[in-house]
Structure 1
Amino acid sequence: MNSLKARLVLAGVMILAAFLGLTGLALDQAFQASAREGVRAKLQAQVYGLLGALELDAGGRVQMPDQYPDQRLQQPGSGSYAQVIAAGPGQSAAPVWSSRSLLGRELGYHHVPLDSGQIHFERTALGRDGLFELRFGVVWEYAPARSRELVLRVLESDAAYRGQLWQFRRSLVLWLGVAGAILLLMQVLVLQWGLRPLRRIPADLQRIHAGEAEALGGHYPHELRPLTENLNEFIRAERTRGQRYRDAMADLAHSLKTPLAVIRGAVGQSREAELNQVIGEQTARMQEIVDYQLQRAALAGRGGLRKRVNLYTTLQRIRDSLSKVYADKQLEFELRVDPAQELAIEAGDLMELLGNLLDNACKWAVARVRVSAGIDAAELRLSVEDDGPGIDAADRDRILQRGVRADEATPGHGIGLAMVRDIVQAYGGRLEIDASAELGGARLVLVLPRTA
């Protein structure tokens, strides 16, 4: 069953059916107990009426008046019956008196010893008819020092009881059915209302897909806000990656126009040696541009699940490589980084970030390059300093633009710091440029969130 609503409705129906069934059973048992108690009270009142009318003569024989307390006892087959049973020692526990209503009927009797004043109540049968029976034990003193043990037995047809029970059960089933239907309808309505925010999400996503909305809007319940916020974040990330990819492709096409134009001009005007030199230079430049733009476009594919990379180990590898590249400078590298510090970042991205920053520092440094890292509750700050001439405040924003260099005489194409900026922004961070207070040169600071 793939429908969440159907599952909830089915679970509700099962719970409701169990609840109503148990409720009906409990009410039925309670009604039966109450009805039986009513029959018992009625039969007990008849026993007391018989006691008031009963007399024993001098010989201990039972005498009853012609008119009984309950007129039904005089009508044969009325459903109300009475007997007086001799139950003393030496007695056969046989009836010594029976009401006229028992005319032509035989009542079996199973003797149950009863003390004086003791009551026994049960349900029995007379042929096919069900009966309620109440017995009352009594010791009747009819002469000085002479008494007789008797059992007064009254019976009542259970037809009225069964009729009441059937009527009650019919009403009970009807009203429980009505209550169940109402509760089920209310449950469906509550589910419709409760699941309405979930139904809004596909509709809002369709509007976003159609370009009618920028993100999931409106007020969603607290339970759905993590979902909608993550969806909005995913939508924003996808838009950013898509835009970055489109920009990279557009920049690639635009950047290749100039080298291609130079090649075309050289083919038509230059000699063969000069042509080879121009083609070599321009194809090298085109390769750099292509590599940069493809790397920049690849930023669109970076996901949120990354392995942790050791920062100190990566810095050591880059330091060893740059020491060979700038061996003529005899630079002193100072790494103020915790050897156990790790970052949740793509290893290639970390190499690109640190490689560009350290290469830039080595390019301008006189003798010293320092790398230090600090971390707090919210972010990591990684700074790269050198003792070179530094970067003028007026140039700090400009050199982050692609193709711009602080010194045009220095080799390069001005894409290293732009690449650093793009990568660090993809991770939700930023690149800061200021002056090194201790070394006197430039200080470039990578600020990354703790999740990186």
Structure 2
Amino acid sequence: MQSRSITKRLKSSSLVKRMQSWSLKKRMTVVSSVILVVAFSLIYFIAKSAYTAASKSRLQESLVAQIYALMAVADEQDGQITLPEIMRNDRLNHVNSGLVAYVLEADGDLVWRSRSSDLFSILPDISQDYSLTELTVWRIESYRMFWIGDTIIWEHEDGTESEYLFLIGEKRTLLTAAVREFKREIMYWLFLTAFILIVVLGFALNISLLPLRNAQRQIELISRGDAERVEGEFPAELAPLTSSINRFIESEINQKKRYRDTLGNLAHSLKTPLAVVKSEIHQLGESAKQVELQKQIERIDDIVKYQLNRSVVTAGQTMKRKSLVEPEVKKIVDALNKVHMSKGLEITYEVAEDCYFPGEQGDLMELVGNLADNACKWANKKINIQVKHSNQNLIIAVEDDGTGIPEEKRALILDRGKRLDQQAEGQGLGLSIVMDIIKTYQGQIRILESQLGGAEFELTIPV
């Protein structure tokens, strides 16, 4: 129970919540850095402790050897032991060498001292527990020193025995300096090793993430409409994911095709009954009732067309397509010139080079065709269609030289254009379809004053 509560607290912590939004690279970098810091910290402390212990052991062995060397050169003269004034170990002959030696009687009286000990005015404390097996740390004056000592029983020539304490000490600062130098060395090499490991890990991380980046690029191509499936070889860990993505894409495409086929069949099925009803109404004569029925039938026909178009537009927008704009605009202009030939309209268009619509060809035809058809209804003579890219948006502008739309009515037209049952007069089904398509593509529509003198409908579609 306690481990579960700890796990819950960890999951609910702010750090864990922030980590959930981190990229894989950031997560692996942070985790690797933490592991390196912990591992190198352990290495540092273990190495420092081991070096300190080894240095103390070497120092102890050296001091023990010095003790035995002192005992070896000790001699007796006039019933008192003596040692040479000049020692073989030159450090004992110089002040500030850091190594000192003493020979004391059991009561603490001085028998002999090395020249190097002239720095000190006091004698070592004989109450300390000196031994050959362990370093004793004791301060003499302002210096902390490591001491090794041994007590011997000396048998004099007259048969009497005396107890003497042989002591040798070394300044602690010498060992501390050596340890400090070792710490600097190991820190240098650890930092150098860490830097090399970070570079190697970064290189390995980039190589490991290459398949993910490849999958990401291919998914971006699919979302832009430049590809229809994820291609290439992927590691075993990613293969199920890419296969699932491809199956999902194929399912979306097939579902959209079935949806369109069903809607097409529905539209075809409704045409014949509506045509029969129109024919029967036409035979009723030119009565007010006949006119009203004809109007309602046309309204039903418009509603069916509108809902079918709306369903096709909103079906399966998961995968984008890319449609070249210029050929479709040319088809629309050619068709409108034929339809409105009697009005003698001058329809021109300007499409930027390599201009693509980020979606289905049919949606592009609906957008440009409906706006251009409305412009033809209201234009006196000129209609102009412009398509270009600007700031990662596709801009479609259709303008005419008609009477225009007053500014106070523009918002009303756009608002009412969203609902077929309240269409703005003169805009009809076309504007409602345009509004739905624009909403699907997360675009915007504006009504402006045309440079030709009439109205301009401007569409902005993110690409």
2:160 corresponds to = 146
Match of 2:86 among 64, 67, 87: 67
Q: CA deviation at 1:130?
A: 3.4
2:189 corresponds to = 175
Match of 1:201 among 204, 211, 215: 215
Scaled by the length of structure 2, the TM-score of the pair is 0.53
Q: CA deviation at 1:258?
A: 2.1
Aligned partners of 1:34, 1:180: CA distance in 2, in Å?
26
Q: Say yes or no: does 1:266 pair with 2:280.
A: yes
Aligned partners of 1:210, 1:71: CA distance in 2, in Å?
85
1:19 corresponds to = 39
Q: CA deviation at 1:241?
A: 1.7
Report the RMSD for the aligned CA atoms in angstroms.
Answer: 3.4
1:43 corresponds to = 63
**When the two structures are aligned, how many residues end up with a matched partner?**
279
Q: Say yes or no: does 1:187 pair with 2:207.
A: no
Closer/same/farther in 2, CA of residues 4 and 152 from structure 1, 3 Å limit: same
SS of 1:163 mapped into structure 2: helix
1:86 corresponds to = 105
Match of 2:125 among 105, 110, 118: 110
Whether the 8 Å contact between 2:259 and 2:315 is mirrored in structure 1 is no
Aligned partners of 1:247, 1:240: CA distance in 2, in Å?
10
Q: Say yes or no: does 1:29 pair with 2:49.
A: yes
Closer/same/farther in 2, CA of residues 104 and 27 from structure 1, 3 Å limit: closer
Closer/same/farther in 2, CA of residues 201 and 71 from structure 1, 3 Å limit: closer
Please give the per-residue CA displacement for 1:185-239, whole angstroms capped at 9, x wherever unaligned.
2222222222222222331112122333221221222222332222222222221
Whether the 8 Å contact between 1:119 and 1:137 is mirrored in structure 2 is no
2:116 corresponds to = 101
Q: Say yes or no: does 1:234 pair with 2:248.
A: yes
Scaled by the length of structure 1, the TM-score of the pair is 0.54
Aligned partners of 1:143, 1:113: CA distance in 2, in Å?
30
SS of 1:195 mapped into structure 2: helix
Q: CA deviation at 1:264?
A: 3.2
Aligned partners of 2:46, 2:266: CA distance in 1, in Å?
81
Aligned partners of 2:181, 2:28: CA distance in 1, in Å?
35
Whether the 8 Å contact between 2:149 and 2:168 is mirrored in structure 1 is yes
Aligned partners of 1:215, 1:47: CA distance in 2, in Å?
85
Whether the 8 Å contact between 1:119 and 1:136 is mirrored in structure 2 is no
1:221 corresponds to = 235
Closer/same/farther in 2, CA of residues 104 and 169 from structure 1, 3 Å limit: closer
SS of 1:76 mapped into structure 2: coil
The amino acid of 1:136's aligned partner reads D
SS of 2:22 mapped into structure 1: coil
Closer/same/farther in 2, CA of residues 124 and 42 from structure 1, 3 Å limit: same
Aligned partners of 2:132, 2:127: CA distance in 1, in Å?
11
Q: CA deviation at 1:144?
A: 6.8
Please give the per-residue CA displacement for 1:37-81, whole angstroms capped at 9, x wherever unaligned.
22222212211211111023463x221233323233233333221
Q: What 5-or-longer segments of structure 2 have no aligned partner?
A: 1-20, 286-292, 317-463
Matches within 5 A, 1:117-136: 118-136=132-150
Match of 1:254 among 265, 268, 271: 268
1:367 corresponds to = none
Aligned partners of 1:151, 1:98: CA distance in 2, in Å?
12
1:6 corresponds to = 26
Closer/same/farther in 2, CA of residues 120 and 141 from structure 1, 3 Å limit: farther
Q: CA deviation at 1:108?
A: 4.4
Closer/same/farther in 2, CA of residues 55 and 67 from structure 1, 3 Å limit: same
Whether the 8 Å contact between 2:147 and 2:167 is mirrored in structure 1 is yes
Whether the 8 Å contact between 2:60 and 2:134 is mirrored in structure 1 is no
Aligned partners of 1:94, 1:236: CA distance in 2, in Å?
102
1:364 corresponds to = none
**Which structure has the larger Rg over C-alpha atoms?**
1
Identity of aligned residues (%): 28
Closer/same/farther in 2, CA of residues 34 and 219 from structure 1, 3 Å limit: same
Aligned partners of 2:61, 2:187: CA distance in 1, in Å?
28
Q: CA deviation at 1:114?
A: 7.2
